[in-house]
Structure 1
Amino acid sequence: MTTVVITGANRGIGLELVHHYVAKGCDVYGLCRNSSDALNSSGATVVDKVDVGQPEQLPEALARLKDVKIDILINNAGVLGRETIDDWDPHTIEHQFRVNAMGPLLLTQCLLKNLKNPAKVAMITSRMGSMSDNGSGGYYGYRMSKAALNAAGVSLARDLAERGIAVALLHPGYVQTEMVSYGGDISPDVAAQRLAQRIEGLNIENSGSFWHANGELLPW
């Protein structure tokens, strides 16, 4: 049986990824800070009190997974700030770095011994972390933190290749979630289905690539 671990699993894209993999008959672990009724009834094993924004607490929070062998790890948890050049707060920018970039990296490091050979790691990033795709500016903390996540993901892809672990950087699209006040153009369910397709196609040969969930290769 395929074992899948998903962060930020209590709502939005993470919850729909849980539903997708549970429906496929996978053994799913839903990680989150605080669970939800939907996650509790999903059929996944819920591991709460996992706050990727508090990396120093991750080893203890992840101790419940110490005997779990993982086929797919999906780092989905994230936060969005809306800084402009005239309206920004260093604390919100730092928080986005902790949650969006440092948290996924350290969580992956904490679970390295759990990852099978072969295994897959998916970083749910954003095309807003792309340099050449930035045509509008703003969103300083989010853009910088996602660019940092992309850099970490490429390094992980290089470092883990010999262990048979492939890494993908995946942009889900503009998704109708609470993060964007439900203003997206695709549903979380559609985003989850597309992300799962990209993860299915992930291998050592394309490890470290930056993909839109629709299959488009994105520019750095």
Structure 2
Amino acid sequence: MTSSLVIGASRGLGRGFVEQLLAREGQVLATVRREEDAEVLHALAEAAEAGDRLETFFCDVADPESRAGLAAALEGRAIHTLIHNAGVYGPRAPQLGELPEADWQQVLHIDTVAPVLTAEALLPQLRAAAQQGGPVKLAFLTSLMGSIADNGSGGSYLYRSAKAGLNAAARSLSIDLAPDGISVLLLHPGWVQTDMGGSSAPLQIEESVAGMLARIEALRPADSGSFVDWSGKSLPW
């Protein structure tokens, strides 16, 4: 049985991934930060008659000890699909002259550094899946706001720089992990009705997640390192 791990599954897109993965075959693993979030996910699994296929783990991706604990809890396991959803936006509208250094460092750490270090910590599990002979995929949720070529409006210094950094790092991962048979994908979910996207966003969580899962399923080694949106449209770097 294949296993999919969703990093950051407490709400929004992460919870949406868990719901839709439970409707498919395979084991679903999910990380949360609070007991009540785990309870919600297990209730969803029971309602879908898939309670025996969901496992939850507590993990704060910004904490090295927490990442190490997750890797230890999954020691000896094979992960065929890893979806890194955890991230933050940071302060909404800091302007030049008042850019908050501490907040910027935090956003960079959570959105750029932590996803790569989490993937690094779980490389044994990804490689174990690759050794079984099937496709192994590592997907990072990023943003069109991380595109340098697409930036025509300026601002959003913290979030833009963090997602641009993630894009660059994940592109390197796609090259370095190719010999292991691990394919990497950068996914822009679109403007979605989540806590971050707000109620005015045109996309529902279900539609965005379904599209992203289709992109992950269609990913082939030749396309590793691609930067696409939920609909499959290639995005500028």
Interval containing the TM-score (normalised by the shorter chain): over 0.9
The residue that corresponds to 1:93 in the other structure is 104
Output aligned runs, 1:19-58, within 5 Å: 19-35=19-35, 36=37, 37-43=39-45, 44-48=54-58, 50-58=59-67
Does residue 7 of structure 1 match 2:17? no
Q: In the aligned structure 2, how far is the partner of 1:87 from the partner of 1:39?
A: 40
> Any gaps of 5 or more consecutive residues in structure 1?
none
Contact 1:177 1:183 in 2 (8 A): no
Are 1:52 and 1:98, in contact at CA under 8 Å, matched by a contact in 2? no
User: Whole-Å Cα distance in 2 between the matches of residues 23 and 214 of structure 1?
Assistant: 20
Q: Is the 8 A contact 2:192 2:198 kept in 1?
A: no
- 92-101 vs 81-90, greater mean Cα deviation: 81-90
Where does residue 212 of structure 1 map in the other structure? 229
Aligned length: 219
Distance in 1 (CA, whole Å) between partners of 2:3 and 2:199 is: 30
**Counterparts of 1:56 and 1:137 in 2: how far apart (Å)?**
36
Q: What is the RMSD computed on CA atoms of the aligned residues?
A: 1.3
Q: 2:122 is matched with which residue? A: 111
Q: Is the Cα–Cα contact under 8 Å of residues 5 and 30 in structure 2 kept in the other structure? A: yes
Deviations 1:124-168 (A, max 9, x none): 000100001112111111100100100111000000001100000
Give the percent of matched residue pairs that are identical in Structure 1 and Structure 2: 38
Helix, strand or coil for the counterpart of 2:44? coil
1:196 paired residue among 208, 213, 223: 213
Moved beyond 4 Å, runs of 4+: none
Q: Distance in 1 between matches of 2:27 and 2:200?
A: 32
Paired with 1:86 and 1:174, the residues of 2 have a C-alpha distance of 29
2 CA distance for matches of 1:73 and 1:108? Answer: 8
Residue aligning to 2:186: 169
Give TM-score scaled by structure 1 length: 0.95
Any gaps of 5 or more consecutive residues in structure 2?
A: 46-53
CA distance in 1: counterparts of 2:30 and 2:66, whole angstroms: 18
Distance 2:24 2:4 in 1: 11
